[in-house]
Structure 1
């Protein structure tokens, strides 16, 4: 394959490749950059073009290029990356709207939920807002649609709904593919210091050869370059684990604590086998000391398979402190649900978190809303989570894996006993809502694409059944005060249920296999990700509540 391209001065080409073959870049017939031979394992390459001119890219193995993009640093924040697709026919380039139209042409890809252009994505990380721009980073595997050595992908948005794809922001410390190992740049948060400087704290999992034991995790600090394109100035800030902590020691959340006049960090861990959240302190953000466990799970969690706490989020909300955490490996005995997300509300005084009640709030009863991260901005606590089905995997052949939830705003219930989650106002401001059904039950034809269902009034006895070609897509019902959801692939061995009580409102978004439910003012939420019958064509509504059905799509 040989192709001529004009590249402006300063242009960057970045790609991952593996396999037999070579790639070189020529100017006026002379080679100015080359890879004489690709390795058998994936490797990262970057080319910096110095002079505006035409180049010739030559390779005898276009299929060896696993993921490639280009950008000009001076303009990438306005245009995003240009995707380079290598094939025997040449290099196809797409930028901005061309990328979005290309992604929307995939009938299996959700339209309202963020997903990577290609390959594997999981936890949201480093969520922050700079000026008018939201930055969402995410764990990303750039060489395949399965989980692998972790990097930080990056996307930006002005409205939390429409996203611009950016260059990979953060790379592992070393090439883990070369070692036959996993690990890399795991989860962490964005922290703005008192002087306004922005930094990212994150976990680096060093080369790992077992997913369940024997690995080493350390905490690092990175600063963004002046254009928010790449991480730089990376330093290790915490290596030593407290006594009783083996290998799970990750996912920092850092803040400045006025009461302590010092920095504070929480980390997810396992302490003597119990899932735990650990509290650390620092006077300068670089040297950290272990203070105490912030939270240690009751023994039943360990007995029920929980290995550790992951992705703890700890933040002040109104006059309370909220702790959100996932228990990886946990299986709830009664319902058989996996890896549930929980919240506690309480007080944080003298570095001690005292929950108002020891009872954990189940934050999302559907299990597929995981690794939630939130950030405070302009008086709101905004959250995203990774949507992942722990029981079923995406069908073979998909070019990507992983989606993010809709943006949610967090608040406390009126009695201040529960954490509530509702779609951020940007969802209604920037997604069109065309009315299909109003104020009635019955059976209705559905358009192709995302829909929203709203119920207002007494929910007891309500049932929503969506089908595709007569086969179940999803069913949501309220019976005896219990809200439940069932998807096409469910065989009944797991119960996705929540106590609703006398809730009188429900919003449901369906987006090509993603179901997000918000009931009782957001006090009860449920999220599922399915892969069968993801384009329902009929909806049956049976409810004494007032019902609306809306078609939702981007403006």
Structure 2
């Protein structure tokens, strides 16, 4: 039995998910004001709103049944974030703001530079936007466990794209999928600011699903946020009918206002008669949508090589060019055995037709662990996040969370407009202090127990970077015959993580507790890997004719 007295201010809200055999009761002056008489065997969501500032008594006979809990006040949550409640037989431990940050930093296997959830499973970034002075990062979230499950939208806010406040869960599935023994829920989508300044979030709801590969229904919805961006206060279904030839994969909307058409446009990831595709829809009011045509249909080899559909498509304008970004779920590249790669096409968009400048797809990240990228425009920049996930190996058991975000990247075009470039936002340099560790070129060096950045400037051919932990490999990056390669401790050689370099004169590498992000050729070549073995290397061997620097980031 756990019993604890707490002072709660007026307007305070406690939210939690719980399951198992137990009860939960809140009383004031010995009188019960709110209770859950009995937890269900499946997870359920509960919320308590406290009206008058006073002391309450919280009692539960199953503190371990509370899976995820936090509290907040509407008026101050954008400044303080949530207060995390940790329930145990000894009582309730509360952490807010800097206390949460210090707590998370104390976990030895948690990256410091990359955003991660406090608890449980996280995947795709969604609904990215900047409103006023606040950057908003939403993400797919399973609040009841460390594995993928019924999807919600988690939420974090920042004033600098680096330091994040954890916020209340923003969006829930339309029904309790745990109770049904089903999966699905609030899937991916984008933030859209209408011409009248009204913010809305277009997203996909996967209705109760019992198979991960077929037979499910996906519909498109709009979620309207409350005035403080804490909760979705209204939800409207706007598109249910799939075009002919489209089966179950029909998701991840990207919506924009098209000046040329004087109407709204939406793309969705799907497949047409088995070919991965991006579908284009139009609307005069943003509510009633009509299918226009396929914006892009993948060559037949993608279907033959296992691709089920396009996921998380992005369509953005950079200068006078349009860029289509796509992930092909299930695809395995025959030559390297890499899968679920991310590609881009650059071209023209006129009268609802996208015409690529070349049919050749640009590989956006050669490491495979950079997936479900979403970009948004703010302050004159196109900024992107992606989900970091190792498709071959899972996070070790016992971790309190699963999933990280990439460093935020700025998207631009090369001078000849033939390649999409990605580089870390300037805020990364501005807010993570970098102390030089190594200023020489080649040699062996000790590494600090902290994130590092390695910079090579000059000819990269023949360069090799090898980081080890106690003599065992952590990661290796090399350039030979114009090919950039990365290898992690887990790699057995069956998959080749490689990319062709162009000028091969510059490289930046970030290492953060098992995450490696590489930017070469001015951001024209990027590679991201997420490993779980030897994640805190203590030695680095550099062999290069380029000028080399290693910076400690903290």
The bucket for the TM-score relative to the shorter chain is over 0.9
Is 1:539 the counterpart of 2:536? The answer is no
Matches within 5 A, 1:291-330: 291-330=292-331
Is 1:121 the counterpart of 2:109? The answer is no
Structure 2: distance between partners of 1:458 and 1:439: 15
Structure 2: distance between partners of 1:378 and 1:86: 42
- Partner SS for 1:127: strand
Matches within 5 A, 1:45-84: 45-84=46-85
1:454–1:548 contact (8 Å) kept in structure 2: yes
Is 1:395 the counterpart of 2:396? The answer is yes
Structure 2: distance between partners of 1:431 and 1:132: 20
Cα deviations by residue, 1:451-509 (Å, 9 ceiling, x for unpaired): 00000000000000000000000000000000000000000000000001332000000
1:467–1:536 contact (8 Å) kept in structure 2: yes
Structure 1: distance between partners of 2:268 and 2:440: 48
* Map of 1:2 onto structure 2: 3
Q: Which runs of 5 or more structure 2 residues have no equivalent in the other structure? A: none
Is 1:191 the counterpart of 2:195? The answer is no
- Partner SS for 1:246: coil
Is 1:415 the counterpart of 2:416? The answer is yes
* Map of 2:478 onto structure 1: 477
Q: Which runs of 5 or more structure 1 residues have no equivalent in the other structure? A: none
* Map of 2:378 onto structure 1: 377
Deviation at 1:414, TM superposition (A): 1.2
Is 1:180 the counterpart of 2:193? The answer is no
* Map of 2:213 onto structure 1: 212
Structure 2: distance between partners of 1:491 and 1:149: 33
* Map of 2:147 onto structure 1: 146
1:482–1:501 contact (8 Å) kept in structure 2: no
Structure 1: distance between partners of 2:23 and 2:96: 26
Deviation at 1:219, TM superposition (A): 0.1
Is 1:467 the counterpart of 2:468? The answer is yes
* Map of 1:91 onto structure 2: 92
* Map of 2:492 onto structure 1: 491
Deviation at 1:439, TM superposition (A): 3.4
1:361–1:418 contact (8 Å) kept in structure 2: yes
Matches within 5 A, 1:441-452: 441-452=442-453
Structure 2: distance between partners of 1:161 and 1:328: 30
* Map of 1:551 onto structure 2: 552
- The size of the alignment, in residue pairs, is 553
Deviates more, 1:201-210 or 1:375-384: 375-384
* Map of 2:242 onto structure 1: 241
Structure 1: distance between partners of 2:6 and 2:208: 38
Deviation at 1:192, TM superposition (A): 0.3
Structure 2: distance between partners of 1:439 and 1:399: 39
Deviation at 1:440, TM superposition (A): 1.8
- Partner SS for 2:247: strand
- Partner SS for 2:479: strand
* Map of 1:157 onto structure 2: 158
Deviation at 1:282, TM superposition (A): 0.2
- Partner SS for 1:264: strand
Deviation at 1:52, TM superposition (A): 0.4
Structure 1: distance between partners of 2:425 and 2:76: 29
Deviation at 1:276, TM superposition (A): 0.2
* Map of 2:435 onto structure 1: 434
Deviation at 1:135, TM superposition (A): 0.3
Deviation at 1:104, TM superposition (A): 0.4
CA RMSD of aligned residues (A): 0.4
* Map of 2:286 onto structure 1: 285
Deviation at 1:318, TM superposition (A): 1.1
Matches within 5 A, 1:236-275: 236-275=237-276
Structure 1: distance between partners of 2:233 and 2:253: 18
* Map of 2:521 onto structure 1: 520
Structure 2: distance between partners of 1:335 and 1:503: 21
Structure 2: distance between partners of 1:27 and 1:278: 56
1:321–1:348 contact (8 Å) kept in structure 2: yes
Cα deviations by residue, 1:235-263 (Å, 9 ceiling, x for unpaired): 00000000000000000000000000000
Deviation at 1:519, TM superposition (A): 0.1
* Map of 1:339 onto structure 2: 340
Deviation at 1:441, TM superposition (A): 1.0
Deviation at 1:347, TM superposition (A): 0.2
Is 1:454 the counterpart of 2:471? The answer is no
